[in-house]
Amino acid sequence: MMSLHLPSTFQFIQSYLPANTKGLGITTLSKRNFFQSIGDFFAEKSGKKRVSYVAVGDDFITQLHFQGESLIAEKTIQLAQLDHFYVSEGQTPDGIIHHLSCDATVIVSAKKMEDHHIKILPCLLGENASNVQAIQSIQWAQESKKALTEILKGWPAQIQERKARIAAEEAAALKAAEENA
């Protein structure tokens, strides 16, 4: 695995990343209401664009939403919270940008689940690419994408193993209770 040493372009995000972050990508911006959109418009005019990043570790995905270099929102999904996880590779309609599409079902409580869709793109897109010209930065972005792809592709099997282990423990407890009754 690569060590997450960020190129200078992304140093501002380093202090916000969770410990053990192994890969970093950009995600689509979260939905905003009308008033937030107006604020975004004026913030963009002053050079403070909204950008959302995804940090991936062995057991978490954290979305970090920035306005310029200021963190405005953060959300983490832990592997242990997942009931279901599916990851697939795809590309934009023009075929230029490769991305990961992740669908996660988070267990909120015994009776409630939440579905999340996260599209993860390399850190070399659009406005963000304007000051990322160095070959090292491009290589870093590719290594980061490779690391987070390897991690996320292993999650479905880990979830199934955890579910099987829990089911076996529950079956053993039920059997023990029946034998003691």
| pLDDT over 50 (residue 17) | yes
Model confidence at 131: pLDDT above 50: no
Q: Which CATH number fits the domain 8-180, given the four candidates 1.10.357, 3.10.150, 2.30.29, 1.10.8?
A: 2.30.29
Give, for 121, the enclosing helix (H) or strand (E): strand 112-121
pLDDT of residue 39: 63
Q: Kindly give the pairing relationship between strand 60-67 and strand 112-121.
A: unpaired
Q: What are phi and psi of 25, to 5 degrees?
A: -140, 180
pLDDT digits (tens, 9 = 90+) for 135-144: 567 777 788 8
State the DSSP string of 11-58: GGGGGGSPTT--EEEEEPPPP--HHHHHHHHHHHHTT--EEEEEEEET
Could you report the per-residue pLDDT of 52-74, keeping only the tens digit for each? 889 999 999 999 988 778 888 89
pLDDT digits 0-9 by tens, 78-93: 999 999 999 988 887 7
